[in-house]
Amino acid sequence: ILQVGAEIYPLVKTGGLGDVLGALPSALSRLGLAVRLLLPGYPALRQPLTNVRLVCRLGPAFGAASVQVLLGRLPGVEVPVYLIDAPSLYERPGNPYVDGLGQGWADNPQRFGLLGWVAAYLALGDIDPAWRPQLVHGHDWHAGLAAAYLALHPYTDCRTVFTVHNLAFHGLFPPQLLPVLQLPDSSFMSDGLEFHGEGSMIKAGLHYADAITT
């Protein structure tokens, strides 16, 4: 099982999502399941990461000139952790989603689109040949596109679960970003990820996942 999210208690937390990501993977691991986490490479996560191994270099992607996927351990986390090391996307001060004025970062679609894309291609076996999940579990809008990338890929046997923690935040983006996010035009419809003229990451998770929890 690959757990995918944007926060983890106690290192990065703005709400209950961080609590769940801090507890659920370890609890599942204690039940005998092979669990790993995928998180953005914020400084608060990159700095304490130990036993670091470079898994993959992706080169320019999603607006970042350099993207690497690292595997290591975080203090207090019982399962291995993949971090997306993309400094131009994730090395930001303060809150992981908004700037000092409380406005969402303008490139949040790229920042969290990349999170979903890496999750999907871990599941497809293209990023870490040594480990492939059978299930990708995405949390909130930040991970919603993981289900879309997998559902839209013609060759995958990985299943997806999407958990809604806060339905108020949708992860909206303009349709002009579809090529940047590596999404086909065919996905931009009401029976897809389109929501009142914009793309919605949370709708992508709700529409394309095999199962939904709250």
The pLDDT assigned to 160 comes to: 98
The pLDDT assigned to 195 comes to: 97
pLDDT in tens, the chain (214 residues): 999 999 999 999 999 999 999 999 999 999 999 999 999 999 999 999 999 999 999 989 999 999 999 999 999 999 999 999 999 999 988 789 999 888 999 999 999 999 999 999 999 999 999 999 999 999 999 999 999 999 999 888 999 999 999 999 999 999 999 999 999 999 999 999 999 999 999 999 999 999 999 9
> Could you tell me the pTM of the whole model?
0.97
The pLDDT assigned to 73 comes to: 98
Q: What is the 3-state secondary structure (H, E, C) of the chain?
A: CEEECCCECCCECCCHHHHHHHHHHHHHHHCCCCCEEEEECCHHHHCCCEEEEEEEECCCECCECCCEEEEEECCCCCCCEEEEECHHHHCCCCCCCECCCCCECCCHHHHHHHHHHHHHHHHCCCCCCCCCCCEEEEECHHHHHHHHHHHCCCCCCCEEEEECCCCCCCCEECHHHCCCCCCCHHHCCCCCCEECCEEEHHHHHHHHCCEEEC
